[in-house]
């Protein structure tokens, strides 16, 4: 029987009311891995509301204690690295070594960010007025929406999600429709690590429905997006009227510059890896080489 994934809203795994499902297919074999819901706008809104409710308690948890949860997440990710990498490869086709590297980035990010729980310093400064003290403290924004792509389906949610969590924000997460099982497993790990109910919410679905709610809901204060330039422009259009803070990582046109005094063997290795590693499916992949005229033929 085909597995049907559920959303994670307010600390509960709940089936979507929408009976339309998206097939999750292994790109190498055509095998059906599982099905994910095409969640409704109402379900996305419920996730935002659950995050907003959980935020009121989570923001009061001392930052070092929030960091301890991420330490536990790092250890679980280490223990389940091969399992998670296998799921990642099965869903989106990245070779095993690169899939394990994807998970390792999440492990490294978890350890690093956990330490930030003890480094959320403010500032003090001298006042120009007598008998006055001036200081600043760091405060969380509230609800942070993460919209992530298929090409780094563990590393990118970790890069964006772990800093949000350690700083006391609550998260709503919409993964790519191509990698739902990876996202499901990632969130289960955070649940196991002890992230409180409602602090991390997972909603499967399309950008036109779930993503739209995350961009236009007045309770979402920050949007972290990785994907196409076209979608990033649309996010700006929807979110700008509400003055949301937006972090976007979109497509690039990356050139490798090779000068006439370069080690050409090293340059060639770098060019091949950058252009063809991960099958070129990443925003930092080189798509052109700019070579000095003295060495261009030899290169």
Catalytic residues: 249, 283
Angstrom distance (rounded) from CA 273 to CA 124: 46
- Integer distance in angstroms from the first to the last C-alpha of the chain? 54
- Catalogue the long-range contacts made by 188-191 (C-beta closer than 8 Å, 24 or more residues apart): 189/73, 189/76, 189/77, 189/80, 189/84, 190/73, 191/8, 191/11
| DSSP helix/strand/coil, 112 | helix
List all residues 6 or more positions away from 126 whose beta carbon is below 8 Å from its beta carbon.
134
Q: Report how far apart, in Å, the C-alpha atoms of 123 and of each of 104, 113, 120, 126, 136 are.
A: 33, 20, 10, 10, 5
List all residues 6 or more positions away from 260 whose beta carbon is below 8 Å from its beta carbon.
292, 294, 295
Q: Which element (helix H / strand E) includes 97?
A: helix 96-116
Angstrom distance (rounded) from CA 88 to CA 75: 19
- 102 and 183 Cβ atoms separated by less than 8 Å: no
- For the CA atoms of the chain, what is the radius of gyration? 21
Query: What does 251-268 look like in DSSP terms, one character per residue?
Result: ---EEEEE-TTS-HHHHH
Tell me the torsion sign for CA atoms 146, 241, 37, 22.
negative
Using DSSP bridges, classify how beta strands 143-147 and 170-174 pair: parallel, antiparallel or unpaired: parallel
């Amino acid at each position: 029987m085909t597995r049907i994934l559920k959303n994670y809203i307010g600390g509960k795994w709940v089936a979507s009311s929408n009976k339309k499902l998206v097939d999750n297919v292994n790109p190498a074999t055509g095998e059906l891995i599982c099905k994910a819901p095409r969640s409704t706008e109402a379900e996305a809104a419920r996730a935002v509301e659950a995050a907003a409710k959980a935020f009121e308690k989570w923001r009061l948890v001392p930052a070092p204690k929030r960091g301890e949860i991420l330490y536990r997440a790092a250890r679980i990710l280490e223990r389940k690295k091969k399992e998670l990498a296998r799921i990642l490869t099965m869903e989106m086709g990245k070779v095993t070594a690169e899939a394990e590297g994807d998970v390792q980035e999440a492990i490294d990010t978890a350890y690093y960010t956990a330490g930030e729980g003890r480094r959320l310093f403010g500032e003090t400064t001298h006042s120009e007025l007598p008998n006055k003290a001036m200081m600043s403290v760091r405060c969380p924004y509230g609800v942070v929406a993460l919209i992530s792509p298929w090409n780094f389906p563990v590393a990118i949610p970790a890069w964006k999600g772990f800093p949000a969590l350690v700083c006391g924000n609550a998260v709503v997460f919409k993964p790519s429709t191509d990698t739902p099982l990876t996202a499901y497993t990632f969130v289960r790990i955070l649940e196991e690590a002890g992230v409180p109910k409602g602090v991390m919410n997972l909603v499967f679905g399309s950008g036109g429905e779930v993503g739209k709610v995350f961009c236009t809901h007045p309770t979402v204060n920050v949007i972290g997006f990785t994907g196409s330039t076209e979608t990033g422009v649309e996010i700006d259009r929807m979110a700008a009227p509400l003055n949301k803070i937006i972090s976007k990582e979109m497509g690039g046109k990356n050139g490798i510059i090779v000068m006439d005094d370069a080690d050409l063997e090293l340059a060639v290795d770098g060019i091949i890896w950058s252009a063809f590693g991960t099958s070129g499916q990443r925003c930092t992949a080189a798509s052109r080489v700019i070579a000095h005229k003295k060495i261009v033929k030899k290169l």
